[in-house]
Structure 1
Amino acid sequence: MATGIEAAGLVLGAIPLILASLQFYAEGISVTKRYWKYKEEVNTLLKDLSAECSMCINSINMLLIGVVSQKDMVEFLNDPQGARWKDEKFDRKLRARLRTSYDPYLWSIRSMVTTVEKFKEQLKLDRTGKPQFSEKTLFKEHYKRLKFSLKRSDYKELMDRLRRANESLDRLTNQTAYLETHQRELQSVPNFRTIKERAESFYSALRTGWNCPCQAHHTVSLRLEARMDDILSDEDDDEHQHTMRDPFHVLFQYNNQHITTICPPNTARPWCWEEADVRVEYEQERHGPMAACSGHPSKGVRFAKQNMKKAVQAALETHPNLQPIKNLCAAISELQKPQRDVCFSLLASEIAKQKYGVHIYPTKQMPPDTDTWSISSLRTILDDAEFARRDRLKLAVTLASSVLQLHETPWLDQSWGKDSIFFVKRPGTTVYDQPFVSQHFSQNVPTATPDMPTSMRCIIRNQPLYALGVALIELWYGKPLLELHKAEDGPKDTGNIQTDLMTEFSTADRLVEELYSEAGGKYGDAVRRCIRCDFDRRSRSLGDVQFQKDVYRGVVAQLKENYEFMFNTSCSHR
């Protein structure tokens, strides 16, 4: 028996044949003139059937949205009884989309299959669904031989059956579309604000954690993760009580290329790379016997501690080898020894009177071959043959979510881009699904990021989102935006910031329209909303909760659904 998707193909394939046959018979009646009494009945039947068929085709097309990709839709519809309609993966997607409505749909569509077959029988069509003769002038002879019905009343029962199935299919289709729309509107949005506050607190703690005389650059790289399921919704009340399911994962790097001349030549690095998980947790009010601890100087690095005695005991039982340390650099250096079962705790004075505790848990095993590790930016790996489209589109989801997590923090500049995203190359491999952003900590004053020209702010209305849109374009094509430039976009590489930025925007805006035909509606919509800041809302600040929800539902969720649809798999939400 035909599956739900295969039955839809059978109906779509049979309907045009029935309509064409009725039209052929109507023209045969006009030629012979003897059967003109049937002309009006056949034409009325043709009109009624045509209306029902149009309604049926529209319903099936609506159901196919989200089941068949936009780029495959034309090929699908042009071959409605082809082999692709029998592919079980499409029926699984249809079943997942309709859920409890799948069985009623199956009844309706199979009823339509039966009805159209009955139509073909009464019209005496051949096995291919076409009339058994091709010359209109011979209509009289073949009518007498085949004895097919021309009376409208003979088709009344079939039309009633088709109409009932059609109405049922129409209701199911519209209800499904309605529920999908409202489910997106009611979709719970992760509390990105809580993640953002913890990322800022971690950075603030790091700023005071390098009390070392080595004069080297210390780099901390934060792994970007989708984090769409690991935290309570921002619709819950007490945000300070939220705990992230998964910690931040970071890499520490010691770079002695920047050691100043006051150090001895050929100074050996005390350490190279180190890996750790970081938990940033809300510190409860400090009262009673533990309150005195909060009066200690918070600058630097000290043991992990909790405010209540039971928490302290639990921590000590879990980590019996805790030792006091003076600074983070020295502490990491000590990790090169076999004993690594420790936990560092940073509390920077900037963290609103110890609002958050920053707990660093180094990996239990020492990272191997760290001297051979290197980093590559997204720019350098865009055209890697091994950086497959599947990896690129999964990265698109992670980057989109990360913008909501890290906007307006030191971890992600307003004008971030492919030179801001890094991947660690370890011996023989690059892990493409583990992107990082980095911050350098040294005694030098950090270089300020140039501001976007004021005149461009009415065009690029949200810089981090625009940067995301550019990244999404580059990830789809596997090329930097500059390589996608056309002369019509304007002059490039002029050295004038405003001119070059305007040209870049023109290129991106042009590609928005092209992406719809190549990448499909969901990906195209996500890119359009980012490039044009097209959210139908006055506020354009990612700090605005409602605008943030719009971005999540209109960009992040769309990219996730697109990825899962294209590769028939769940998008991992580390």
Structure 2
Amino acid sequence: MSGFEIAGVVLGSIPLLISALEHYGEGISTIQRWRKYQRERQSLIRNLQTEQVKLQNVFEKLLVGLVPASDIEVMIENPRGPLWRQEAIERKIRARLWMSWTVFDDTIEDIRIAIDEMQREIDSQRDGNVSELRRGIFTLKRFHYEERLSTIRNGVSNLENLTDRNIELEPERRVRSQTKLFSVLRDMAGSFYRALLTSFRCSCQHQVGLALQRRSADITPMDDDDRIMKDLSFQLAISYESMTRSDEANPEAVLSWQEIVVKATWTPPPLAPSQTTKLAPAKSKAKKSVSFLSFQSTTSTYSSGTSTTTVTNVVQNSTELHTLIPNLTMGVASSVAFSSVGVALDLCGTLHQAQKQAATDTFGTLVDQHPQATRRYSVHPAPSADDSRSWSVVSLRDILDQKSRFPPLSYRDRLRLAVVISSSVLQLHGTPWLPSILTSRHIFFIQKNNSPNPAMYWQPVLLRHLPGGEDQPVIDQTAITAERNPTLLSLGCVLIEVILGRTLDSRSARAGVDLMSDYVAAQGLMDEVRMKSSNYERAVASCVDGKLHRHGCGLEDGDLCQDVYSGVVALLERDLENS
């Protein structure tokens, strides 16, 4: 039983104890000499009712903002219900209580024990053979329950204090948690980019769109990078050439797309020297055996242009590696881990193969053989009902410059886009996905079925051409870059374009990037931005001409990342939530 589930049990046990006390007096209340002792029983009931209400208030305060208001009412009214057993809710509570969770959990357990002891003593007096005198002893002598009541009262008071103090500190902790999350995301994004590069064993040019997302996570001080990474995933759309079947004699190559989800998979830790010599105990005479992973290998051939490629996919179909490691010696473990699970995915071949076969749950594994650590990422297809052969990409700049061709960006769409872009800069800064100078030319949307739809604004992407490079924008490195962080300055310019719905005049007739011209243009538009929103204007000002610019300090710096989140992303999020 989880800690938070026990909290629900405790909350539900107090009314049962009160009910037992109310019925406890039946049969003795009619005796004249015992009536004076009913006040003691009623006092105990009132005290328990008071602690019940206070405990309900504690849990209600803990749940506010973490679950829907309707669920709070259900949880308080039904403390033994299924919502108290949801892992997601408990994780949010743990994050809110920060380092106080263990103390909170132990206090709940103390209250539970006191209630159980009081309940058992009452129940022990309900035997029909017990005299009325024995039945009255519990009520007559206060010291029989005073210690337990004191435990309950003090415990609830401690829970109130813990809850109040932690909620007061939550906003600052959330900022620090986001900073930790962004650091893990940058590490993961760079790692799976390297793994993605090695998965293309072809001469094709693939467009790879990484979906930008507004992210948050319930992180506690006890969570390490691997624990945080386990819950993260990235969404991508990858283009590839497919053959039409309308004319089997003369098939034509068309551009198709496949949406995939990339998740970090469990990586077996290295075995300690002491573990390498540990074998199964010799006491048992049963025949010992080692179960090796078995893999099913499927081979297929596809043609693209004038080249033919044979693809072999390795599919794991047995017990997960981590369940076998304890029973393997170092030599066997290394062999299994690197010769089997370490087989990297041929992504281009897999996409062509997937076009010809039935739906599958997984495409395989991407492997990043980094000197510091080998990481693996499972690749899963994201189902789509649209014909991906009719998809195309359109840049944010084109949408802003050619308004008649595309659906208008609503004010809420602009705020959402601003939040996603600014958050993604912190998530991807320093990785190959994000250019150091971000412009509206780098942000794209996938237009499905050749039909512009406002829904496409909900998922912007950064586009890369792999395997191989792509032309980087021409950057005019003026003296301003010594005083301004180029990434922050360019982000501020993009945010201005988004909220005003047009490109900067300084970018109207050139393909390169002139930071000085952009800075001057941005300064001239601040009053217009302020008319849209004071929070938005403050966020843009922090990027363009604020205190966030620190010489020689990049966004990978934890303090600067935290300040950018509070001074830019959080302000934009506030506007979005209020829109």
Contact 1:216 1:256 in 2 (8 A): no
User: What amino acid does structure 2 have at the position aligned with 1:225?
Assistant: Q
Deviation at 1:186, TM superposition (A): 4.2
Q: Distance in 2 between matches of 1:525 and 1:181?
A: 25
Distance 1:385 1:181, change over 3 A: farther
Q: How many residues align?
A: 349
Structure 2: distance between partners of 1:368 and 1:242: 33
Give the CA RMSD over aligned residues.
3.8
User: 1: distance between equivalents of 2:378 and 2:218?
Assistant: 18
Is it true that 1:447 corresponds to 2:437 in the alignment?
no
1:482 aligns with 2:505: yes
- Report how far residue 271 of structure 1 moved: 6.6
Greater strand share, 1 or 2? 2
Q: Deviation at 1:380?
A: 1.5
- Contact residue 242 and residue 352 of structure 2 kept, 8 A: no
Q: Tell whether 2:369 aligns with 1:343.
A: no
Q: Which residue of 2 aligns with 1:141?
A: none
Structure 1: unaligned runs, 5 residues or longer: 1-178, 258-264, 294-298, 313-321, 486-491, 568-574
Q: Retained in 1: the 8 A contact 2:438–2:487?
A: yes
Q: CA deviation at 1:291?
A: 11
Cα gap change, 1:343 to 1:231, in 2 (>3 Å): farther
Deviation at 1:440, TM superposition (A): 1.0
Residue 447 to residue 255, structure 1, CA distance change in 2 (3 Å): farther
Q: CA–CA distance in 1 between the matches of 2:361 and 2:510?
A: 53
2:378 and 2:384 mapped to 1: Cα distance?
A: 19
Quick check: 1:271–1:333 contact (8 Å CA) kept in 2?
no
Q: CA–CA distance in 1 between the matches of 2:427 and 2:312?
A: 26
Aligned to 1:473: 496
**In structure 1, what residue type is equivalent to 2:393?**
I
CA contact (8 A) 1:301 1:325 kept: no
Alpha-carbon spacing, 1:244–1:283, altered in 2? closer, same or farther (3 Å): closer
User: What letter corresponds to residue 388 of structure 2 in structure 1?
Assistant: T
CA distance in structure 2 between the aligned counterparts of 1:207 and 1:504, rounded to whole angstroms: 34
Cα separation, 1, equivalents of 2:510 and 2:387: 44
Other-structure match for 1:220:
208
Q: 1:330 aligns with which of 349, 354, 361?
A: 349
Letter of the aligned partner of 1:466 in structure 2? L
Are 1:521 and 2:545 matched, yes or no?
no
Shift of 1:338: 4.5
Task: Output the CA distance in 1 between the equivalents of 2:510 and 2:456.
Answer: 36
- The counterpart of 1:285, out of the listed 269, 280, 294, is 269
- Segments of structure 2 that go 5 or more residues without pairing to the other structure are 1-165, 244-248, 277-289, 295-310, 327-340
Query: What is residue 413 of structure 2 aligned with on the other side?
Result: 391
The alignment status of 1:431 with 2:456, answered yes or no, reads yes
Whether the 8 Å CA contact 2:362–2:378 is kept in 1: the answer is: yes
State how far apart, in whole Å, the 1-side matches of 2:393 and 2:355 are: 21
1:521/1:247 CA distance change after superposition, 3 Å:
same
Other-structure match for 2:67: none
**What corresponds to 1:547 in structure 2?**
560
Contact 2:485 / 2:549 at 8 angstroms: preserved in 1? no
Q: Is the 8 A contact 1:522 1:559 kept in 2?
A: yes
Partner Cα distance (1:473, 1:335) in 2? 42
CA distance in 2, matches of 1:248, 1:446: 22
What secondary structure does 1:336 align onto?
Answer: helix
**Residue type matched to 2:263 in 1?**
R
Asked if structure 2 preserves the Cα contact closer than 8 Å seen for 1:300 and 1:347, the reply is no
The offset of 1:558, in angstroms, is: 0.5
Q: Deviations over 1:472-515 (max 9, x none)?
A: 101111000127x9xxxxxx8589x78x4322210102222442
Residue type matched to 2:536 in 1?
Y
CA contact (8 A) 1:226 1:402 kept: yes
The CA deviation string for residues 359-410 of structure 1, in whole angstroms up to 9 with x for no partner, is 10112x4553112111111112223443211111111000111000001111
Change (3 A) 1:458 1:307: same
For normalisation by structure 2, the TM-score amounts to 0.53
Give the AA of the match of 1:420. Answer: H
Cα distance change, pair 509–267 in 1 and its aligned pair in 2 (3 A): farther
The alpha-carbon distance between structure 1 residues 513 and 458, as it changes in their structure 2 partners (threshold 3 A), is: farther
What percentage of aligned pairs have identical amino acids?
A: 28
**Cα deviation 1:175-209 (Å, max 9, x = unaligned):** xxxx9997654433321011111111111011111
Asked whether the 8 Å contact 1:346–1:358 carries over to 2, the reply is yes
Work out whether residues 302 and 344 of structure 1, in 8 Å CA contact, stay in contact via their aligned partners in 2.
no
Q: Distance in 1 between matches of 2:325 and 2:457?
A: 38
TM norm structure 1: 0.54
> How big is the shift at 1:358?
1.0
Are 2:208 and 1:232 aligned?
no
1:531 aligns with 2:510: no
Match of 1:200 among 184, 190, 201: 190
CA distance in 2, matches of 1:511, 1:330: 49
Q: Output the CA distance in 1 between the equivalents of 2:460 and 2:395.
A: 9
In 2, the alpha carbon distance for the partners of 1:526 and 1:300 equals 50
Question: Cα–Cα, structure 1 residues 446 and 551, in superposed 2: closer, same or farther, change >3 Å?
Answer: same
1:375 corresponds to 2:398 = no
SS in 1 for 2:356: coil
Measure how far apart 1:557 and its partner are: 0.6
Quick check: 1:400–1:468 contact (8 Å CA) kept in 2?
Answer: yes
- Aligned-pair CA distance for 1:421: 0.8
Post-superposition Cα deviations, 1:294-332, rounded to whole Å, max 9, x if no partner, equal xxxxx99754695413699xxxxxxxxx9x996211111
Task: Give the match for residue 122 of structure 1.
Answer: none
Preserved contact between residue 542 and residue 568 of structure 2 (Cα < 8 Å) = yes
For the 8 Å contact 1:219–1:441, the answer to whether it is kept is yes
TM-superposed CA distance for 1:343, in Å, is 1.9
* Aligned-partner Cα distance in 1 for 2:258–2:370: 25
Partner of 1:296: none
The answer as to 2:427 corresponding to 1:414 is no
CA contact (8 A) 2:485 2:550 kept: no
2:520 pairs with 1:506: yes
